[in-house]
């Protein structure tokens, strides 16, 4: 993919990106569906850019309960916070939910003086701040979805956000049923039962990951 279209390199020219890739020790790696990319407890100095595919961010409590915090699609990044806190162990696990290609970059190096590319570091730092802000909004959205007490209200909150994002009441969600239940912090069986009831009540139609929100 064209890196100038990614969040991290937005506004940079190809020549600038080429210099930065060398400066940031860029490494490209491929992962199969279901493969773990980074595990909870790992320490990483690298930010990951999804070149193709998609990854999911999750965490487990001491009882083994899994929570999905979000997904990262093509062109977006993950682990950005950990690159800014040296030695900080990861609180989440990053896994590929389909065959995925990742570009790893040691973004921490933008905070040091580099005679070759320091002119471009300011642009990269600005983009990184924008990514932090965007991730905060995503976490706020999840808090909004999970603040409702009923499963139906949590589902409707999430579906409403999807419809607004895509500008259409017909949309695909990036999660399977278990992942959606984990994201909304509800029991999978109870959620599936509620989806069926919502369809019977004429609120939604769905088939696999395709949903239609009726208004």
**Looking at the structure, do residues 164 and 77 belong to the same domain, yes or no?**
no
Range of the domain at 44: 3-113
Q: What is the pLDDT of residue 150?
A: 96
**Looking at the structure, do residues 109 and 165 belong to the same domain, yes or no?**
no
CATH code at 32? 2.60.120.10
Q: Which tops the pLDDT comparison, 214 or 108?
A: 214
How many folded domains does the chain comprise?
Answer: 2
Give 12's contacts (C-beta < 8 A, 6+ positions apart). 4, 20, 120, 123, 124
Given a cut of 90, whether residue 209 has pLDDT beyond it is yes
> Does residue 51 form part of some domain?
yes
User: Tell me: the pLDDT tens digits for 167-205?
Assistant: 999 999 999 999 999 999 999 999 999 999 999 999 999
Distance CA 89, CA 122 (A): 27
Q: Which tops the pLDDT comparison, 89 or 61?
A: 89
> Does residue 121 form part of some domain?
no
Q: What is the pLDDT of residue 160?
A: 96
Residue whose tokens read 């999911």 = 56
Q: What is this structure's pTM?
A: 0.82
User: Percentage of the chain surpassing pLDDT 70?
Assistant: 96
User: Tell me: the pLDDT tens digits for 52-75?
Assistant: 999 999 998 888 888 999 999 999
């Amino acid at each position: 993919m064209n890196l100038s279209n990614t969040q991290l390199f937005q506004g940079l020219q190809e020549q600038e990106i080429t210099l930065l890739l060398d400066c940031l020790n860029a490494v490209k790696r491929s992962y199969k569906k279901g493969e773990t990319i980074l595990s909870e407890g790992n320490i990483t100095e690298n930010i990951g850019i999804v070149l193709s595919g998609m990854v999911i961010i999750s965490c487990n409590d001491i009882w083994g309960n899994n929570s999905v915090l979000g997904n990262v699609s093509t062109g977006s990044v993950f682990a950005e916070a950990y690159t800014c806190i040296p030695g900080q162990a990861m609180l989440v696990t990053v896994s590929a939910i389909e065959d995925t290609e990742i570009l790893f970059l040691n973004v921490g190096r933008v905070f040091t003086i580099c005679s070759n590319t320091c002119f471009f570091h300011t642009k990269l730092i600005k983009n990184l701040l924008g990514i932090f802000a965007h991730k905060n909004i995503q976490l706020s959205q999840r808090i909004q979805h999970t603040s409702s007490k009923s499963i139906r209200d949590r589902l409707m909150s999430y579906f409403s956000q999807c419809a607004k994002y895509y500008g259409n009441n017909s949309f695909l969600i990036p999660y399977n049923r278990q992942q959606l239940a984990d994201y909304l912090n509800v029991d999978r069986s109870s959620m599936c039962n509620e989806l069926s009831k919502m369809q019977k009540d004429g609120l939604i139609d769905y088939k696999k990951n395709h949903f239609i929100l009726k208004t």
